[in-house]
């Protein structure tokens, strides 16, 4: 009989905690267009798979009358679950409980599940919705953040870490997402900034709304802090689930293998690309004509669109794609696109995902703003990332491969495993126009009709150098292929590099141009 | 594809003109302007607490011209060379934004 009483007592206690901040606070959360923390977790994971821990954790603050307050679970939910059968660890800050503010025990719950995910070598998903540090807990809050950041760094490159911003995430709190691999934002809901609009107005006199300062669109388009942008929480959860299918549980494993599929796109691959190297096209159409089921899961779609990154599958296995996008800024490399690609290359390398590079670029973006923004330092990141990566690295040169861009985009010289070129490829120090102006400057200047001479010299240069055969003669390119054979050759290249094993000199770590 | 091609923009790299689309960030980039040593520009928004010179004054290098309060600091704006105050665009109590032309000067 007494056992039954104990069980009923437990149920009662649990049902109390499950109310979070209470009906009124939940009503407010819903009014803001947001789901509750628990509903969010349940929407992401497999039905019935979620198990919550530390439900009865209580805050320890005693000052400012905090001892009289009950904060269920101290404003954060932690637990384990599965997504399509893959194990994950999760935490979700509960805004209905003291605004999801972070105190000592709140942070301890987060670090507990982080430790668990690192120990068990499974991905970590963190849902952020918090007013920030709990002022009443003072320096304990700061200590809590520090302990989280340290673990983010420790786990980086070992387990995938996903941050989902579903509410405010301001001040020091933003550094946890910034240290993780993928950041998800939702329109009108996510707000991320170091210094809020209030302080900016007081100190600097600049007036700006929260949305304009650190809303989802800003981070997806301008800052590059967010990797996935969604119009609703529901769409965001679908993105998370999809991403989980493309990545491995940890750095010692490979991503899950799916049933191989042929591409479904029926357009002929060579018909996508205009013959004139100065005309644009959408490189994603090429990717989709290569991948299984013509599926391509793009990352950072709205930031630096002059380079395209994302996952696809080849013969059932995940592959990372890095591709110049002639549709935007002629596909040039610049500060933002170098930064975007370099980080993705390092992600793929850390998690055993082969990289396919599709190349078509005229070089680096010219401009004072680029030079002063440090295009040297940022551009170097992509060289560093490709050189350092030891996963299979395959390049297909579609059209232009000029100058520093040619070297940077996974060239043979940075230890690409295979470099293929279409017959339309042009591998040269620069395009015919620029080269002719320099090499034949004297002839052009001294000619009776300089413009006619210029055109003649451009044509001469074009005929001689604007092709893949000069580079092929040096062995810098392994094979010149017919476009229709691209998928077949890539599948073969991936197959024969599956057991690739190389090692560099011993070092503690490199010093990339961060 | 066809509808985009009608609105394509031009990007020049190494004398070659490429047809493409600009990004929002590219369009919003700051155009470079050479620094005019005779323009005193605010590097931070703030409030003018004091103006110590007037137009036509002859001042020595290092002399304090005005106090700009920003980020709770009283910043002195000093004369960079021996010269003359050509124009004063600020008055005491004015709140000024960043990159505001505070004074025009010239060397003598």
Contact: B16, A432; criterion CB under 8 Å = yes
Give the pTM.
0.92
Q: What pLDDT does residue B6 have?
A: 62
Question: In this predicted structure, what is the pLDDT of residue A202?
Answer: 77
**How is residue A338 written in tokens?**
């170098």
Q: Which residue of B has its CA nearest to A302?
A: B23
Cβ–Cβ gap B20/A330 under 8 Å: yes
In A, minimum Cα distance to B18 occurs at A278
Would an 8 Å CB–CB cutoff place B54 in contact with chain A? no
Contact A204 B17 (CB under 8 A): no
Query: A258: part of which helix (H) or strand (E)?
Result: none
H/E/C letters for each residue in A204-256? Answer: HCCCCCHHHHHEHHHHHHHHCCCCEEECCHHHHHHHHHHHHHHCCCCCCCCCC
Q: Does B20 touch chain A (CB under 8 A)?
A: yes
Q: For residue B11, give the nearest of A330, A369, A435 by CB distance.
A: A330
- Within 8 A of A366 by CB-CB distance, chain B residues are 12-13
- In whole angstroms, give the CA distance from residue A347 to residue A354: 11
Give B78 to chain A, closest Cα distance, Å.
21
Asked if the Cβ–Cβ distance from A431 to B1 is below 8 Å, we say no
- Residues of chain B short of pLDDT 50, as ranges, are 1-4
Q: Does A405 touch chain B (CB under 8 A)?
A: no
Chain A residue whose CA is closest to B45:
A204
Structure tokens, B45: 């928004």
Q: Does B2 touch chain A (CB under 8 A)?
A: no
Chain centroid offset of residue A481 CA = 31
Tokens standing for A178? 């910034």
The ranges assigned to domains in chain B are 39-107
Strand-pair partners of A395: A357, A419
Superfamily (CATH) of domain A269-430+466-496 = 2-enoyl-CoA Hydratase; Chain A, domain 1 (3.90.226.10)
Q: Tell me whether domains A3-246 and A269-430+466-496 share a fold.
A: yes
Tell me the CATH class for B39-107. Answer: mainly beta
Q: Is any Cβ of chain B less than 8 angstroms from the Cβ of A222?
A: yes
Look up residue A447 and give its DSSP letter: S
pLDDT of residue B2: 39
Task: Among B21, B45, B97, select the one facing A327 at the smallest CB separation.
Answer: B21
User: Does the distance separating the beta carbons of B24 and A369 come in below 8 Å?
Assistant: no
B1, A282: Cβ pair inside 8 Å? yes
A252 touches chain B (CB under 8 A): no
Q: Exposure pattern of A202-218 as b/e (b: 16+ CB <10 Å)?
A: eebeeeeeeeebbbbbb
User: Domain ranges in chain A?
Assistant: 3-246, 269-430+466-496, 432-465
Whether the CB of A221 is below 8 Å from some CB of chain B: the reply is: yes
**What's the number of CA atoms in the CB half-sphere (13 Å) around residue A29?**
28
Question: In this structure, are residues A322 and A410 in contact, taking their beta carbons and an 8 Å threshold?
Answer: yes
Answer whether B25 touches A (CB < 8 Å).
yes
How does pLDDT run along chain A (514 residues), one tens digit per residue?
579 999 999 999 999 999 999 999 999 999 999 999 999 999 999 999 999 999 999 988 888 888 888 889 999 999 999 999 999 999 999 999 999 999 999 999 999 999 999 999 999 999 999 999 998 888 999 999 999 999 999 999 999 999 999 999 988 899 999 999 999 999 999 999 998 888 888 777 778 999 999 999 999 999 999 999 999 999 999 999 999 999 999 999 999 999 999 999 988 888 999 988 899 999 999 999 999 999 999 999 999 999 999 999 999 999 999 999 999 999 999 999 999 999 999 999 999 999 999 999 999 999 999 999 999 999 999 999 999 999 999 999 999 999 999 999 999 999 999 999 999 999 998 888 888 888 889 989 898 998 999 999 899 888 888 899 999 999 999 999 999 999 999 999 999 999 999 988 999 999 999 8
Long-range contacts of A508-513 (CB under 8 A, 24+ apart): A510/A384, A510/A388, A512/A342, A512/A381, A512/A384, A512/A385, A512/A388, A513/A377, A513/A378, A513/A380, A513/A381, A513/A384
Contact A431 B13 (CB under 8 A): yes
CATH no. for A3-246: 3.90.226.10
């Amino acid at each position: 009989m007494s056992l039954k009483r104990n069980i009923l007592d437990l149920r009662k206690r649990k049902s109390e905690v499950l109310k979070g901040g209470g009906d009124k606070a939940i009503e407010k959360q819903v009014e803001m267009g947001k789901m509750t923390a628990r509903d969010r977790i349940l929407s992401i994971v497999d039905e019935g798979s979620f198990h919550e821990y530390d439900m009865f954790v209580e805050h320890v603050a005693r000052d400012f009358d905090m001892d009289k307050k009950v904060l269920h679970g101290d404003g954060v939910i932690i637990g384990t679950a599965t997504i399509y059968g893959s194990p994950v660890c999760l935490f979700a800050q509960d805004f209905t409980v003291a605004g999801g503010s972070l105190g000592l025990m709140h942070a301890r719950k987060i670090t507990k599940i982080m430790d668990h995910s690192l120990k068990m070598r499974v991905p970590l998903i963190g849902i952020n919705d918090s007013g920030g540090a709990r002022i009443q807990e003072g320096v304990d809050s700061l200590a809590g953040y520090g302990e989280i950041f340290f673990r983010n760094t420790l786990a980086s490159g070992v387990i995938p870490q996903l941050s989902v911003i579903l509410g405010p995430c301001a001040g020091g709190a933003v550094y946890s997402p910034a240290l993780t691999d993928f950041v998800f934002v939702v329109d009108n809901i996510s707000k991320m900034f170091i210094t809020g609009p209030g302080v900016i107005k007081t100190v600097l006199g600049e007036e700006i709304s929260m949305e304009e300062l650190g809303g989802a669109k800003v981070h997806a388009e301008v800052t590059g802090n967010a990797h996935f942008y969604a119009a609703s929480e529901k769409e965001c959860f679908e993105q998370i689930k999809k991403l989980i299918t493309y990545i491995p549980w940890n750095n010692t494993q490979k991503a899950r293998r799916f049933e191989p599929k042929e591409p479904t796109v029926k357009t002929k691959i060579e018909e996508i690309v205009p013959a004139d190297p100065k005309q644009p096209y959408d490189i994603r159409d090429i990717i989709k004509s290569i991948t299984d089921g013509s599926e391509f899961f793009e990352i950072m779609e709205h930031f630096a669109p002059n380079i395209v990154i994302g996952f696809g599958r080849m013969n059932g296995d995940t592959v990372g794609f890095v591709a110049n996008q002639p549709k935007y800024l002629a596909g040039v490399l610049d500060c933002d696109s170098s930064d975007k690609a370099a980080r993705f290359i390092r992600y793929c390398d850390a998690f055993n995902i082969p990289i396919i590079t599709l190349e078509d670029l005229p070089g680096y973006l010219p401009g004072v703003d680029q030079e002063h923004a440090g295009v040297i330092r940022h551009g170097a990141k992509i060289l560093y990332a490709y050189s350092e990566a030891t996963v299979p690295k395959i390049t297909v040169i579609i059209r232009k491969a000029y100058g520093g861009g040619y070297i940077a985009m996974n060239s043979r010289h940075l230890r690409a495993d295979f470099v293929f070129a279409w017959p339309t490829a042009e591998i040269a120090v620069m395009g015919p126009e620029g080269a002719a102006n320099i090499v034949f400057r004297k002839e052009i200047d001294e000619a009776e009709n300089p413009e006619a001479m210029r055109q003649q010299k451009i044509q001469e240069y074009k005929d001689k150098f604007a092709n893949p055969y000069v580079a092929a003669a040096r062995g810098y390119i392994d094979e010149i292929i017919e476009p229709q054979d691209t998928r077949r050759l890539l599948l073969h290249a991936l197959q024969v590099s599956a057991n690739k094993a190389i090692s560099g000199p011993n070092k503690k770590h490199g010093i990339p141009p961060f | 594809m066809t509808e985009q091609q009608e609105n394509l923009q031009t990007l020049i790299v190494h004398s070659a003109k490429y047809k493409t689309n600009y990004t929002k960030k590219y369009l919003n980039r700051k155009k470079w302007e050479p620094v005019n040593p005779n323009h005193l520009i605010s590097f931070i928004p703030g409030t003018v607490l004091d103006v110590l010179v007037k137009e036509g004054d002859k001042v020595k290098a290092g002399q304090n011209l005005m106090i700009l309060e920003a980020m709770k600091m009283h910043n002195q704006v000093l004369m960079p060379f021996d010269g003359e105050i050509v124009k004063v665009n600020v008055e005491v109590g004015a709140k000024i934004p960043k990159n505001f032309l505070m004074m025009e000067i010239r060397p003598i």
